[in-house]
């Protein structure tokens, strides 16, 4: 009965945790890393074909984005997720695969011209289609037996449509343990979706810490603040570009803009157009309006019961084709452009930034978390010039942040959700936060609130039955490429570092092996060192 932490350890993205009980092997989340990765992740210590099933907390790509890669490597088990997560993954994983294929093709065009080796996409649409066939949608609040020794239950965690904390009951012989994975804990009082629901009991909790060292502050007047930004920008003849996550944040912005138009809060620009330039966002909006009613909060349900679409208004224009997208910037009238991606690291929004960043009358409005190393983070931190499509662009537009708009709970929200567990869990594992955030949050839980908590690095394993660490690793800083270094040489070096990390984990977990095997391992390691040391000399 062992848990091993793979991804989102001292980092915000790439969530992936391995659980082994008897002959059963499963993952909780299988996410893609985004932005700058500060630490190396250990490779999955089992073959993908050995994974019996995956429990998916929600559809965001940093939690689901490597599922097609897992399928490509041989996974054929079941993916358990809520009904709305299943629906969102249908569009998001296909979209992610399209991005992988498109980026590989773009790189290969450049490689062919330069005579360099071509690359393969991380995965293809075929891989995404394959893993989507493995999904099994599950309702909230129903305990489900997923194997002989594992049962689960999804609870609404209020972060995204369909998002969940997952309760997991493990039975091995006469030992029974319960572990709860928080997924991403939602902020309270968000439009459209419910607040996070409590879970009451657990032996162990794995808790995110994206905002583990920060507070959102008093709830701002989102609608009033957004109306002020629109009014100021339109009055000077500008456009408001909102880089927005296609799923979740775009729908919230539509909800707010509908209220602004309904109440007439922007003056002198009646009927201002709002372009949603993201096919994925347009599909996701349809899913929001067709989801089970219990996934929506009371205010949204009340509007729907009155026959009011809370995400539609006069002047809303859905951009579907490439030609539709290109035409938006030919319209010189004041307008709003909502376009993905939310961190500006891919997608159509980069084209809109290229056209609008250098005009002082425009506003670029950020409405979500900007990970380290992304274009969005650079703009928020005051970059005066940025490179987009290999062209340097001056940042003359006003850069604004709609404070407090976050789908994540802040430090107090995390503590409030954790406080529902009575008695306190025997151990709290903190993940899914950057290094400073998760370390500070652990210190708060231990020193101020009396929890037993720690933030594992990738490769750390814990015996859930005995309540002891099997392997406790330290963080391995990811190597950065020196200027001008051959990327193929860097890839080979990183492959070597991964192999060394595997060997280190093997040695750390070898304490119980017979002396004969330990001596044999030592001789082999010494021989390897001598061979390569002599070659270096």
pLDDT digits (tens, 9 = 90+) for 5-32: 999 999 999 999 999 999 999 999 999 9
Query: Tell me, what's the pLDDT at 44?
Result: 95
pLDDT digits (tens, 9 = 90+) for 324-373: 999 998 888 999 999 988 888 878 899 999 999 999 999 999 987 787 78
Calculate mean pLDDT across residues 318-324.
88
Percentage, residues of the chain above pLDDT 70: 92
Position 231 confidence tier, pLDDT thresholds 50, 70, 90: very high
Percentage, residues of the chain above pLDDT 90: 70
Calculate mean pLDDT across residues 65-80.
98
Question: What is the Cα–Cα distance from 327 to 449, expressed in whole angstroms?
Answer: 55
Question: What is the Cα–Cα distance from 47 to 36, expressed in whole angstroms?
Answer: 27
Position 536 confidence tier, pLDDT thresholds 50, 70, 90: very low
Query: Tell me, what's the pLDDT at 498?
Result: 60
Calculate mean pLDDT across residues 165-185.
97
Calculate mean pLDDT across residues 486-509.
61
- pLDDT at 160 exceeding the cut of 80: yes
Calculate mean pLDDT across residues 258-278.
94
- pLDDT at 518 exceeding the cut of 90: no
Calculate mean pLDDT across residues 79-104.
94
Distances (CA, A) of 424 to 90, 209, 419: 37, 18, 8
Calculate mean pLDDT across residues 163-181.
97
Position 520 confidence tier, pLDDT thresholds 50, 70, 90: confident
pLDDT digits (tens, 9 = 90+) for 186-211: 999 889 999 999 999 999 999 999 99
Instruction: Flag whether the pTM goes above 0.95.
Output: no
Count the neighbouring beta carbons within 10 Å of the beta carbon of residue 379. Answer: 22
For residue 137, the cross-strand partners are 81
* Mean per-residue pLDDT of the chain: 90
Q: In what order do the strands lie in the sheet with 363-366?
A: 316-319, 274-277, 336-339, 240-243, 363-366, 398-401
Calculate mean pLDDT across residues 42-54.
96
Under 8 Å between Cβ of 482 and 194:
no
Which of 264-273, 496-505, 520-529 shows the lowest per-residue confidence on average (mean pLDDT)? 496-505
Cα 95 vs. chain centroid, distance in angstroms? 15
Determine how β-strand 316-319 pairs with β-strand 274-277.
parallel
At 513, phi and psi to the nearest 5? Answer: -75, 155
Question: What is the Cα–Cα distance from 197 to 210, expressed in whole angstroms?
Answer: 19
């Amino acid at each position: 009965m062992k848990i091993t932490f793979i991804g989102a350890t001292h980092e915000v993205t790439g969530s992936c945790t391995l659980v082994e009980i008897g002959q059963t092997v499963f993952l909780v989340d299988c996410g893609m890393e985004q932005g700058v990765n500060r630490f190396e992740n250990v490779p999955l210590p089992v073959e993908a074909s050995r994974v019996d099933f995956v429990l998916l907390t929600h559809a965001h790509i940093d939690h689901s984005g490597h599922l097609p890669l897992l399928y490509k490597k041989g996974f054929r088990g079941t993916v358990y997720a809520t009904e709305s997560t299943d629906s969102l993954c249908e569009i998001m994983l296909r979209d992610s695969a399209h991005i992988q294929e498109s980026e590989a093709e773009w790189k290969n065009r450049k490689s062919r011209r330069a005579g360099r080796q071509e690359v393969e996409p991380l995965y293809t649409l075929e891989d995404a289609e394959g893993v989507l066939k493995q999904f099994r949608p599950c309702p909230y609040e129903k305990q489900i037996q997923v194997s002989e020794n594992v049962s689960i239950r999804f609870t609404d965690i209020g972060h995204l449509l369909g998002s969940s904390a997952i309760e997991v009951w493990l039975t091995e012989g006469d030992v029974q343990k319960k572990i709860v994975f928080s997924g991403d804990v939602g902020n309270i009082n968000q439009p459209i979706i419910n607040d996070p629901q409590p879970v009451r009991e657990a032996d162990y909790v794995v808790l995110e810490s994206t905002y583990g060292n920060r507070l959102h502050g008093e709830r701002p007047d989102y609608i009033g603040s957004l109306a002020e930004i629109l009014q100021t920008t339109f009055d000077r003849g500008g456009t408001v570009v909102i880089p927005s996550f296609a799923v979740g944040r775009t729908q919230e912005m539509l909800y707010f803009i509908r209220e602004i138009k309904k109440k007439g809060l922007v003056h002198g620009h009646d009927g201002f157009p709002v372009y949603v330039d993201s096919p994925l966002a347009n599909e996701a909006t349809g899913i929001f309006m067709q989801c089970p009613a219990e996934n929506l909060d009371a205010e949204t349900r009340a509007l729907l019961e009155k026959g009011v679409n809370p995400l539609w208004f006069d002047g809303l224009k859905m951009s579907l084709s490439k030609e539709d997208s290109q035409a938006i910037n030919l319209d010189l009238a004041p307008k709003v452009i909502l376009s993905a991606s939310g961190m500006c690291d891919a997608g159509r929004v980069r084209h809109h930034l290229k056209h609008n960043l250098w005009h002082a009358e425009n506003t670029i409005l950020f409405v979500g978390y900007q990970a380290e190393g992304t274009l969005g983070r650079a703009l928020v931190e005051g970059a005066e010039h940025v490179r987009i499509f290999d062209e340097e662009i001056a940042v003359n537009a006003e850069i604004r942040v709609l404070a407090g708009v976050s789908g994540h709970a802040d430090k107090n929200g995390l503590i409030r959700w954790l406080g529902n567990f009575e008695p306190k869990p025997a151990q709290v594992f903190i993940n899914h936060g950057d290094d400073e955030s998760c370390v500070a949050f652990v210190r708060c839980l231990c020193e101020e609130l009396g929890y037993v908590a720690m933030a594992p690095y990738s490769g750390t394993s814990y015996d859930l039955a005995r309540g002891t660490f099997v392997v406790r690793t330290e963080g391995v800083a990811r190597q950065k490429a020196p200027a001008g270094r051959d990327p193929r040489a860097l890839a080979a070096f990183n492959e070597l570092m991964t192999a060394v990390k595997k060997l280190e984990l093997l040695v750390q977990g070898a304490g119980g092996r017979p002396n004969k095997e330990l001596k044999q391992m030592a001789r082999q390691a010494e021989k390897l060192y001598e061979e390569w040391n002599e070659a270096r000399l």
